[in-house]
Amino acid sequence: MNDLPLGGLSAATFLRRHWQRAPLLVRRAVADFAGLIDLQGMIALACSDDCESRLILRQAGRWSLEHGPFDRARFRRLPARDWTLLVQGIERFLEPAHALLAKFSFIPHARLDDLMVSYAAPGGGVGPHFDSYDVFLLQGPGRRRWRIGRQRDLSLHPDLPLKILRRFQPQGTAVLDAGDMLYLPPQFAHDGIAVDACFTYSIGFRAPSHRELISEFLAFLEDRLQPQGRYADPGLSLQQAPAEIPAAMILRTGKVLRTIRWNRRDAVEFLGTWLTEPKNLVRFRPPVQPLSPAAFGRAAQARGVALAPASQMLHSGTQLFLNGEPARSTGSALRVLKKLADARALRGRDVPRSPQAGELLYQWYRHGYICLAA
């Protein structure tokens, strides 16, 4: 699945014309796409406690929202229509999901959030809404009718469990069959209704708010700064108003705050560790009977290695980041480990033989971050 799902557009043309600018409808973006998971597989994930899932129903014009994990009996009580099951982050559980995501590698991995799959019974949907991030909506088996529009009024219905637009004004409609895809920029309103029972795969991209970036970066700096000293004010002057903040205190505090410094290296390490930090429900499974370092090295060079489905790996310069943990490498080993991050796998003949790289790979293997290729 390495061909681009852009209907004949080059990646450069798509980025110039559409990315964060204008929607794009692509017929047969992924030819013969039969999906990656069936309803029973989705239910199994929705019933597990390490997967984020939601169940949305619309009955008699009223919306309801339930969060997983669910009991299987809940799905036996559902009506014949007007409900939707959503399962987040299926790439953490299904290796084939990464082959699908690889088709979107013209967008940096650092921007990718996750792959969500939704199953909708006939009439099912989540209501007219908008997202604050870019999304590719790839249709699996079944058909869904989308209404879309560049919405100016983003006010929401009050007192609903979902963020549903109060005054949705669609400007276009399209019915998507299996393999068709709709790209939507941020804040482009859309409403998808299942024509018949259908699956939709949503490739979403991370778009943190400036507030979130600043808050997370300050928390990152807090762990690294080691300021010395404590506030003191010898020679404190008598003041007439005891509730007034002393001017000298303001000056001293400003002087302390001006000692906060950061540079490009801090920004790189912050982004690398933060963007690859596993989400709350992610669990890694270390090998039950791990090989010795020497045996692992021989096996890796014979079979190759691959990132675990839940692993996230990025790189910048000589720095590597895997699941929130930084590492460094140099030379040919660095080039190969960057290839592991980009392609999520290494052939046996490409596995570096240097002691430094071998130690890193073995450490990641013991943590369950990587595994031997099948």
At 226 the pLDDT is 81
115 contacts 91 by C-beta, under 8 angstroms: yes
What's the CATH fold of domain 208-222+261-374?
A: Malonyl-Coenzyme A Acyl Carrier Protein; domain 2 (3.40.366)
Q: What are the start and end residues of each CATH 2.60.120.650 domain in the chain?
A: 11-205
At 1 the pLDDT is 42
At 2 the pLDDT is 47
Distance CA 349, CA 201 (A): 35
At 75 the pLDDT is 97
178 contacts 123 by C-beta, under 8 angstroms: no
For the chain of 374 residues, list the mean pLDDT of each consecutive stretch of 10: 84 97 97 96 97 95 95 96 97 94 97 97 96 96 96 89 92 97 95 98 95 95 86 90 94 92 95 96 94 96 96 97 96 94 96 91 97 91
At 227 the pLDDT is 82
Note the CATH architecture for domain 11-205: Sandwich (2.60)
Quick one: which of 235, 133, 234 has its CA closest to 184? 133
At 196 the pLDDT is 97
24: β partners: 183
Quick one: which of 224, 260, 185, 166 has its CA closest to 23? 185
Q: What are the start and end residues of each CATH 3.40.366.30 domain in the chain?
A: 208-222+261-374
Could you count the other beta carbons within 10 Å of the beta carbon of residue 159?
Answer: 5
3-state secondary structure of 98: helix
Could you count the other beta carbons within 10 Å of the beta carbon of residue 47?
Answer: 17
At 105 the pLDDT is 96
At 19 the pLDDT is 97
